[in-house]
Structure 1
Amino acid sequence: MNGYEILKFFSVQIVLIAVVLILHTYIGLHIIRRTLIFSDLVLDQFAAFGAMVGVALGIEYGTATSYLPALIAVLFGALLLGDKLCGGGTYVKKTLAGSMLWVTWPLVVVTAVTYIVLIIFHFLFRDKFISLVERPGTNPNERLWDFLLFTTQGIITVLIVPIAGVLLAYAFLMIPATIAALFTRRWLLAVFVGWLIGFLACVSGVCASYFLNLPYGPTLVLSLGICFVFAVLIRCFRRQPA
């Protein structure tokens, strides 16, 4: 393939990554600054097991019904069930690494629209959500905003895990936000820094995956991880974050 065909093929993934990283970086900042590191991983496991239950029950992948079982799950059950399924190893691999390489424009549009609606909602009520971190206990409706925050996290987890897999979904949520948190305490700047570094890392991962013939999802995770290591090294030689 020539350069144009390569760009056209990967444009679907690049657009999806660009949209997804905005909200994932923002939610990731909430998780880090409130020390709720592992809650997202639990939700990823829930969605992963639910997807396997759907496959075992014969529900066709990609239908509206196929997303419902993602509400029930646990990691051990997923591994046991996967072992008993025909081709269970493939299902486990797909659950961890995802199939983002083969996403289609209709799926990207639906996912992007959902993310954009959630981004607008969080932007309009940003003061309420940020107060959960900066001024805990001062909001009379704190439980409501907590519920809405984690509902958002649940929605994006159910949406992204079937596409990107557990590993990449976790990387999207935690690595860009962690890098941003190393350099700034300001929310808007942190979201921008996390998005920019995450996007550049993922584009680099896409290129490396294609030219070096490497698995797509793990290569993106590795690219994000390399950026995180460099960010930590740079941070060691800087003063306190802005």
Structure 2
Amino acid sequence: MELFSYDFFQKAFLAAVFASISCGIIGAYIVSRRIVFISGGITHASFGGIGLAFFLGFNPLLGAVLFAVLSALGIQFFTKVAEIREDSSIAIWWSLGMALGIIFVFLTPGYTPNLMSYLFGNILTVTTSELWWMFMLNSVIVLFFAVFLRKILYIAFDEEFARTAGLPVALFNYLIMVLIALTVVLNIRVVGIILILSLLTIPQATANLFTNDFKRLLVYSSLFAFVGTIAGLFISYFLNIPSGAAIIFTLVIIFGILRLVKTFV
């Protein structure tokens, strides 16, 4: 418990709580809709914004937010309006963001020391302002799903029925894509661009072992994400290993153990 006397560990703990809620809820939707690779495309496209921010000298997270939201809307637009295959649309934005990020980082004069923390995460470096942004995102996500849960369910599992029922399917799809983009970007500090997709899918896969009910899936996913993130945080601290990798490794071990228990018990 003496770890909680350190300011950086208190911030890391709060970041773990906030990341568990946002990734648990958004991840449950992503897995249920089977759009995991859309979130992967958004994640990697955000690297272009980070590279642009380094090049122009402003906050990398702002650049990542810009590119993530644009890529999320772009994927949705290319798929639904331009009638480009979804996998092709994802590949276009994924590769464009990564390519631009590499170009901007290369053109940036000097050395970019913080780049690795964005790629692989470092929860111990989360700032107070980032915690406030994570808190506000969580508030929006929880409120949005609480108010529109029934409509979200209709759209997630039967878009055609939702359209015939008169629901604004396109609007909800765009709004949820923006929430996915913001969730990805604001949790980059926790596990990084490379591993954030795991935080959006592994807790949900674990929760699916115990329930198929969407409401319970939202709660269970957040709980498993919290347990794995906190356990990984302690492991990374005591073993002095990268926090992002420790968190994902812990989540995978939890899933593996519970999968075996469910199989043989």
> Is 1:123 the equivalent of 2:146?
yes
User: How many residues end up aligned between the 2 structures?
Assistant: 235
- Where 2:36 maps in the other structure, the secondary structure is coil
> Is 1:174 the equivalent of 2:197?
no
Which residue does 1:196 correspond to in 2? 223
The one-letter code sitting in structure 2 at the alignment partner of 1:190 is L
The one-letter code sitting in structure 2 at the alignment partner of 1:5 is S
Alignment of 1:76-225 (within 5 A): 76-83=99-106, 85=108, 86-87=110-111, 90=113, 92-140=115-163, 141-161=168-188, 164-225=191-252
209 and 125 in structure 1: CA distance in 2 versus 1, 3 angstrom threshold: same
Specify every segment of 5 or more residues in structure 1 that has no aligned partner in the other structure, as ranges. none
C-alpha distance after superposition, 1:32-81 (max 9, x if no partner): 2222121111111111221111101222556x678545547522343454
Q: Is residue 120–residue 191 contact of structure 2 (8 Å, CA) maintained in 1? A: yes
C-alpha deviation, 1:223, in angstroms = 1.1
Which residue does 1:52 correspond to in 2? 51
C-alpha deviation, 1:217, in angstroms = 1.5
The one-letter code sitting in structure 2 at the alignment partner of 1:195 is S
C-alpha deviation, 1:153, in angstroms = 0.7
The one-letter code sitting in structure 1 at the alignment partner of 2:17 is A
C-alpha deviation, 1:228, in angstroms = 2.2
Q: Is residue 54–residue 104 contact of structure 2 (8 Å, CA) maintained in 1? A: no
Aligned Cα root-mean-square deviation (Å): 2.6
C-alpha deviation, 1:127, in angstroms = 0.5
CA distance, structure 1, for counterparts of residue 170 and residue 258 of structure 2: 34
CA distance, structure 2, for counterparts of residue 91 and residue 133 of structure 1: 37
Q: Is residue 100–residue 163 contact of structure 1 (8 Å, CA) maintained in 2? A: yes
The one-letter code sitting in structure 2 at the alignment partner of 1:177 is Q
- Where 1:78 maps in the other structure, the secondary structure is helix
Q: Is residue 168–residue 217 contact of structure 1 (8 Å, CA) maintained in 2? A: yes
C-alpha deviation, 1:10, in angstroms = 1.7
TM, length-normalised to structure 1 = 0.84
CA distance, structure 2, for counterparts of residue 15 and residue 103 of structure 1: 9
The one-letter code sitting in structure 1 at the alignment partner of 2:21 is I
C-alpha deviation, 1:92, in angstroms = 4.5
C-alpha deviation, 1:108, in angstroms = 0.6
Between 111-120 and 153-162, report the one with greater CA deviation: 153-162
State the identity %. 22
Specify every segment of 5 or more residues in structure 2 that has no aligned partner in the other structure, as ranges. 72-95
CA distance, structure 1, for counterparts of residue 141 and residue 220 of structure 2: 20
50 and 9 in structure 1: CA distance in 2 versus 1, 3 angstrom threshold: closer
CA distance, structure 2, for counterparts of residue 167 and residue 193 of structure 1: 24
C-alpha deviation, 1:112, in angstroms = 0.6
CA distance, structure 2, for counterparts of residue 31 and residue 114 of structure 1: 17
Between 228-237 and 106-115, report the one with greater CA deviation: 228-237
Which residue does 1:29 correspond to in 2? 28
- Where 1:214 maps in the other structure, the secondary structure is coil
C-alpha deviation, 1:4, in angstroms = 4.6
CA distance, structure 2, for counterparts of residue 124 and residue 66 of structure 1: 28
